[in-house]
Amino acid sequence: MFSVNSLHIGTPRDVVYAGDRKLKTSLYRNPVKGKVFLDLLGFEGDQVADPVNHGGRDKAVCGYPADHYPFWERELSREMTAPAFGENLTVSGLTEDQVHIGDIFRIGEAEIQCSQPRQPCHKLTKTFGLPKLASRIQSLGYCGYYFRVLKQGWVQVGMEVERIHYDKAEISVADAHYLMYRDKSDYENIKKLLNHPALSESWKAVLIRRLENRKL
């Protein structure tokens, strides 16, 4: 059984890094124990700092597997507690190889659909003070995932995450991440991913450009 280990919401804040440089980020979200309403654009009270690359209908909810936290603690030699990766939902048992683009999950009253892998963000490297963290996430594929909201409703920590639709294309988040960052010339599978109706519009735009540039 999959479950919500923790649920987090937050608003943008200024963070100082590299001595005196500043950036605005919503990575520092706060855990919530009670019920939170999930609407089509995300959890009530949650905001993103960069609406161009985060949030919106296709990326309303960010999820990250709780399963990866022990690895990162060993890898980074530091204590890691959710939401270290800025996720809204820290989910137990759902790693990137088990979640497929188009899979639909029910959590409480809400229903969400996986739309794309979460792209490693430069803000992670800056807030952690680890310049190679984003590239390490890319190489491992421990990226997490984004969901769009199909049905609004109340969500709470401890609720079961029930898969109610297993996408027949069986393109896992791990597969999609690999095509985007590692095997960039596998055009046959890139086309297969691009044609998936549940894939986010932002990822479609990137893949379309990649195929167009191949013809130049």
pLDDT at 26 over 60: yes
Nearest to 50 by CA among 31, 73, 27: 27
State yes or no: pLDDT of 112 exceeds 80. Answer: yes
Arithmetic mean of pLDDT, 12-27: 85
First vs last Cα of the chain: how many Å apart?
48
Domain limits of the chain? Answer: 2-214
The CB density around residue 155, as the number of other CB atoms within 10 Å, is 23
Topology classification of domain 2-214:
M1 Pyruvate Kinase; Domain 3 (2.40.33)
- pLDDT at residue 23 tops 90: no
pLDDT band at 18 (very low <50, low <70, confident <90, very high): confident
Tell me what pLDDT residue 216 has.
52
Cα(59)–Cα(202) distance, integer angstroms: 10
pLDDT at residue 128, as a whole number: 84
List pLDDT tens digits, range 43-84.
999 999 888 788 999 999 999 999 999 999 999 999 999 999
Give the pLDDT confidence score for residue 131 in this predicted structure.
Answer: 86
| pLDDT confidence bin for 215, thresholds 50/70/90 | low
pLDDT of residue 17: 79
Predicted structure pTM score: 0.95
Question: For residue 1, is pLDDT > 70?
Answer: yes
Query: Contact 141/194 with Cβ under 8 angstroms?
Result: no
